[in-house]
Chain A
């Protein structure tokens, strides 16, 4: 089918690239990527590929290590494999251990399933039901994304700990308490907290653009609602679900602060290990592990892009029914149960943080907010103040959004063009998603912050401009992933009709194609903004002196010995400021919707 469409696709690329603006954006995209991504990450990976750990190649050292790969580590010596398999059979097929990497994959799979299970009903809810504040709820789905992991960990302990709110509630109901602290379940739940909203958002945007007429046709031809869902709706949502699952898998595969804070070292992931190696400055070892990690995440990205093929036809989405109504509808009962789960998993930890910010050793207090005011009024130049943090976060977020949206859309168009090698290129352009924050941070430090000697000059890149560029690089793939599936669904006949009727290329795109993919662009823009606001690692690495800190940096800095108060107060400010800005972004995007 792709082959048949091939000619048209190439035609479309010419049609897109016919515009200089697009070319310009592409060139800028390339420059920013090379300077702030490929060069720094490349230096780290090259260190892994060509460096040495005690006389061995770092990558081979990882691949041959039973600790990292368990049973699979034997694969570096193919001649030993048959014997190893025989031994395993003789031992009576014991459970095979795939080491740290294997555990990381397992953990990420569970986290992805949990995120889908929690996120998809939300997408369906937003697509099918109308209720007061629906738009606001949709805007706020991104909120968990910006919360610093340390706050989430604090909230989760308060909510799900053995002495937590959930257990008090269960005790009050006369039910047995649950003990999930320091278990895989809690880590998976926390990962779902971060990623289910992402699934909701990406799938929700696709659902809103679903071709309703096809479902109606199927129903008209006698298909039951389930049949119509499986045969018509699901295939149309497929690319978006896959995109959400891919992002979740990548994030949870590369997760580290949540694992450290909630799981403990027993549940260590590859990224936890990488972080420890970097802290010990065992950089060659870290680089070897980074290469293995990046190969896994990049091939996954490639595979997902390969299967993220779109279906044609963009419509107006399902008719929305009012949510408030008779409870005799079993679906409404299901939604009620879902609402309860959302309340516990999402609102619980967030509310715990807010409550913590209003509580002192002696009961309710505003002293933590008073601390913020006092720090603002009297803080020294080397201390972090709240207002500059808020201002920087908002400015960096907007600037990153302004760069990431054109970049992301450009890459989506390129992916859609299906020129030979475009998938490989697409994978490379999606690499910022697939490269861990620690690897990028290490590369930025080595390649840019400490500087590179070039023609006798030391080139260093730091400061606000670098931070914004780094945020944009981290964020644009989200724009691409939300726009690309929709772009693939655009009915080309509409564009062609417009052209036949005399519209210029730009005109046809602006009037026909843009409105059709706008929900995706808005969803992507909000994501890009959220990435920027929540970003911590490269911000703190690239921040020059103390002038470029953001809200999450302030949260971390306000964590004191034995007091969470000021940090949770700053976390609550972060929550409020970003909540307002998400609503604004969605509303502004909504005005442009036809």
Chain B
């Protein structure tokens, strides 16, 4: 991976033909970030990469609002959204394959994304660490949502994984133990932890709740009790909506949608197992090779402004990451916060998550 920075600098100097001859690796970042030339540092095009529903979903997507609001705050700047199909993996692989990273900021990082990126890239830094005082709005961040010990990813919102259940069909499942009782036989829909974010979060929640030594036994009991695992959230939620099962793993903001669509609230009750919810903070970060580092920093700061935070809460249907946000009542009334939040730290995930997910998946697939 060291070759990449070398190739890029040499390539820029116009002697790319020599790229194969490895040279001493010098950290090029210091030189690239400081020298944005004579142009206004807060002008030009800012390339913001994100996952595609963030800008293109018909029901909720904050992308358009963010672009408009940011561009009116910085009249000389333009946001160019990028939504590579494979998400963050696209950029990890670009770094691996010596390709130029054509983005300045990534929006929508989870802790396990970051673990994977670091695992794959080793010494190469995909993202730039931001010192605490870089962001003027950094003080308002809710401290417990910070998930990157290296300070690269800045949280901008968070969801809490919980159960959504149909109170007309079943009683409220109150504990993890309830779910393996006969009363909850054939009731639960889950998602594949290998490929789905909420699915993975629920798996991590069971590990936090039952312990590393026992979670597989718990899952065996869960499956024996007729739980079913769909590929992704959409498939699981669609089946839940079609009344195939009366409970589904989803987010604790579910009623915000239900309220918008005037749907029967009985069918959208939130259950926090063991009075917990698993926190999945979403972060954003500046690419180490960002062409517009100052503009990128301004963007990160803008994302933490109270007004932006309130809008993201409504438009992304997730809780704000700052204490200064003031989302409207239509959000706060129906978005439920768990009494206690659970999550894994970066350090707990690093080195373990792959093994956990593999062991889990092999057990499920082996039936």
> Which residues in A have some Cβ–Cβ distance to B below 8 Å?
67, 100, 150, 153-154, 157-158, 161-164, 181-182, 257, 260-261, 264-266, 268, 273, 275-276, 279-282, 361-362, 371, 375, 380, 382-384, 445-446, 450-451, 453, 455-458, 540-541, 546, 557-566
Would A280 and B354 count as touching, CB distance under 8 A?
A: yes
Residue in A164, A362, A558, A562 whose beta carbon sits within 8 Å of that of B242 in the complex = A164
Which residues of chain B come closer than 8 Å to A361, judged between CB atoms?
A: 261-263
Which residues of chain B come closer than 8 Å to A458, judged between CB atoms?
A: 99
Which residues of chain B come closer than 8 Å to A282, judged between CB atoms?
A: 354
Separation in Å of the A237 CB from the closest CB of chain B?
37
Would B97 and A451 count as touching, CB distance under 8 A?
A: yes
Residue in A157, A181, A280, A380 whose beta carbon sits within 8 Å of that of B64 in the complex = A380
Which residues of chain A come closer than 8 Å to B367, judged between CB atoms?
A: 266
Which residues of chain B come closer than 8 Å to A546, judged between CB atoms?
A: 83
Assess whether B160 is interfacial by the CB under 8 Å rule: no
Given contacts A157-B238, A451-B99, contact A562 B59 (CB under 8 A): yes
Residue in A264, A455, A456 whose beta carbon sits within 8 Å of that of B229 in the complex = A264
Per-position contact with A for B154-182: 1 when CB-CB < 8 Å, else 0?
00000000000000000000000000000
Assess whether B194 is interfacial by the CB under 8 Å rule: yes
Which residues of chain A come closer than 8 Å to B69, judged between CB atoms?
A: none
Separation in Å of the A303 CB from the closest CB of chain B?
28
Residue in A260, A280, A457, A560 whose beta carbon sits within 8 Å of that of B235 in the complex = A260
> Which residues in B have some Cβ–Cβ distance to A below 8 Å?
16-20, 52-53, 55-60, 63-64, 67, 80-83, 85-86, 89, 92-94, 97-99, 116, 120, 192, 194-195, 223, 228-232, 234-235, 237-239, 241-244, 257, 261-263, 317, 354, 357, 361-362, 364-367
Would B261 and A453 count as touching, CB distance under 8 A?
A: no
Would A163 and B242 count as touching, CB distance under 8 A?
A: yes
Which residues of chain B come closer than 8 Å to A541, judged between CB atoms?
A: 85
Which residues of chain B come closer than 8 Å to A362, judged between CB atoms?
A: 262
Residue in B53, B239, B241 whose beta carbon sits within 8 Å of that of A181 in the complex = B239
Residue in A161, A450, A456 whose beta carbon sits within 8 Å of that of B97 in the complex = A450
Which chain B residue lies CB-closest to A452? B97
Which residues of chain A come closer than 8 Å to B194, judged between CB atoms?
A: 265, 276, 279-280
Given contacts A380-B64, A450-B93, contact A560 B57 (CB under 8 A): yes
Which residues of chain B come closer than 8 Å to A154, judged between CB atoms?
A: 238
Separation in Å of the B24 CB from the closest CB of chain A?
20
Would A264 and B92 count as touching, CB distance under 8 A?
A: no
Which chain A residue lies CB-closest to B360? A265
Q: How far is the CA of A167 from the CA of B236 in the complex (A)?
A: 20
Which residues of chain A come closer than 8 Å to B232, judged between CB atoms?
A: 260-261
Which residues of chain B come closer than 8 Å to A451, judged between CB atoms?
A: 97, 99
Residue in A281, A457, A564 whose beta carbon sits within 8 Å of that of B92 in the complex = A281
List of 6 A-B pairs having minimum Cβ-Cβ separation, nearest first: A260-B231, A560-B59, A456-B17, A276-B194, A450-B97, A382-B81
Which residues of chain A come closer than 8 Å to B235, judged between CB atoms?
A: 150, 153, 260-261
Q: How far is the CA of A563 from the CA of B53 in the complex (A)?
A: 13
Would A100 and B238 count as touching, CB distance under 8 A?
A: no
Separation in Å of the B83 CB from the closest CB of chain A?
7
Would A557 and B93 count as touching, CB distance under 8 A?
A: no
Which chain A residue lies CB-closest to B18? A456
Q: Which interface residue of B55, B59, B94 has the most chain A CB atoms within 10 A?
A: B59
Would you give 16 A-B contacts (Cβ < 8 Å), ordered by A?
A: A67-B365, A162-B243, A181-B228, A261-B230, A265-B194, A276-B194, A276-B195, A382-B80, A382-B82, A383-B55, A384-B56, A446-B97, A450-B93, A450-B98, A560-B53, A561-B57
Separation in Å of the B82 CB from the closest CB of chain A?
8
Would A67 and B366 count as touching, CB distance under 8 A?
A: yes
Would B89 and A265 count as touching, CB distance under 8 A?
A: no
Which residues of chain A come closer than 8 Å to B58, judged between CB atoms?
A: 371, 375, 558, 560, 563, 565-566
Which residues of chain A come closer than 8 Å to B99, judged between CB atoms?
A: 450-451, 458
Residue in B64, B85, B120 whose beta carbon sits within 8 Å of that of A281 in the complex = B120
Would A560 and B223 count as touching, CB distance under 8 A?
A: no
Which chain B residue lies CB-closest to A269? B365
Separation in Å of the B67 CB from the closest CB of chain A?
8
Given A268-B361, A561-B317, 14 more A-B residue pairs with CB atoms under 8 Å apart are A67-B366, A163-B243, A266-B228, A276-B361, A279-B86, A280-B194, A280-B357, A281-B92, A361-B261, A380-B55, A384-B56, A450-B94, A540-B85, A563-B59
Separation in Å of the A187 CB from the closest CB of chain B?
12
Would A560 and B60 count as touching, CB distance under 8 A?
A: yes
Would A182 and B116 count as touching, CB distance under 8 A?
A: no
Which residues of chain A come closer than 8 Å to B19, judged between CB atoms?
A: 453, 456
Separation in Å of the A394 CB from the closest CB of chain B?
22
Which chain B residue lies CB-closest to A181? B244
Q: How far is the CA of A408 from the CA of B258 in the complex (A)?
A: 52
Which chain A residue lies CB-closest to B55? A382
Which chain A residue lies CB-closest to B93? A450
Q: How far is the CA of A181 from the CA of B223 in the complex (A)?
A: 15
Q: How far is the CA of A456 from the CA of B63 in the complex (A)?
A: 38
Q: How far is the CA of A158 from the CA of B263 in the complex (A)?
A: 19
Would A445 and B93 count as touching, CB distance under 8 A?
A: yes
Would B228 and A281 count as touching, CB distance under 8 A?
A: no
Separation in Å of the B226 CB from the closest CB of chain A?
9
Would B239 and A382 count as touching, CB distance under 8 A?
A: no
Residue in B80, B228, B234, B362 whose beta carbon sits within 8 Å of that of A559 in the complex = B234
Which residues of chain A come closer than 8 Å to B18, judged between CB atoms?
A: 456
Q: How far is the CA of A566 from the CA of B354 in the complex (A)?
A: 36
Would A561 and B60 count as touching, CB distance under 8 A?
A: yes
Which residues of chain B come closer than 8 Å to A181, judged between CB atoms?
A: 228, 239, 244
Q: How far is the CA of A31 from the CA of B243 in the complex (A)?
A: 52
Which residues of chain B come closer than 8 Å to A445, judged between CB atoms?
A: 86, 93
Q: How far is the CA of A258 from the CA of B82 in the complex (A)?
A: 28
Given contacts A382-B80, A563-B58, contact A281 B234 (CB under 8 A): no
Q: How far is the CA of A457 from the CA of B15 in the complex (A)?
A: 11
Separation in Å of the B176 CB from the closest CB of chain A?
20
Separation in Å of the A552 CB from the closest CB of chain B?
13
Would B56 and A158 count as touching, CB distance under 8 A?
A: no
Which residues of chain A come closer than 8 Å to B64, judged between CB atoms?
A: 380, 383
Which chain B residue lies CB-closest to A282? B354
Given contacts A182-B228, A257-B231, A446-B97, contact A265 B361 (CB under 8 A): yes
Q: Which interface residue of A371, A383, A457, A564 has the most chain B CB atoms within 10 A?
A: A383
Q: How far is the CA of A563 from the CA of B361 in the complex (A)?
A: 29
Which chain A residue lies CB-closest to B353? A280
Separation in Å of the A383 CB from the closest CB of chain B?
5
Q: How far is the CA of A420 from the CA of B228 in the complex (A)?
A: 52
Which residues of chain A come closer than 8 Å to B93, judged between CB atoms?
A: 281, 445-446, 450
Which residues of chain B come closer than 8 Å to A540, judged between CB atoms?
A: 85
Separation in Å of the B252 CB from the closest CB of chain A?
14
Which residues of chain B come closer than 8 Å to A565, judged between CB atoms?
A: 58
Q: How far is the CA of A562 from the CA of B268 in the complex (A)?
A: 12
Q: How far is the CA of A540 from the CA of B86 in the complex (A)?
A: 10
Would A67 and B362 count as touching, CB distance under 8 A?
A: yes
Which residues of chain B come closer than 8 Å to A182, judged between CB atoms?
A: 228
Would B57 and A266 count as touching, CB distance under 8 A?
A: no
Residue in A268, A557, A563 whose beta carbon sits within 8 Å of that of B52 in the complex = A557
Q: How far is the CA of A278 from the CA of B55 in the complex (A)?
A: 25
Which chain B residue lies CB-closest to A379? B56
Would B365 and A456 count as touching, CB distance under 8 A?
A: no
Separation in Å of the A567 CB from the closest CB of chain B?
8
Q: How far is the CA of A150 from the CA of B237 in the complex (A)?
A: 13
Which chain B residue lies CB-closest to A556? B52
Which chain B residue lies CB-closest to A277? B194
Would B229 and A383 count as touching, CB distance under 8 A?
A: no
Residue in A161, A380, A457 whose beta carbon sits within 8 Å of that of B244 in the complex = A161
Which residues of chain B come closer than 8 Å to A563, judged between CB atoms?
A: 58-59
Would A266 and B231 count as touching, CB distance under 8 A?
A: no
Given contacts A276-B361, A281-B92, A450-B97, contact A383 B56 (CB under 8 A): yes
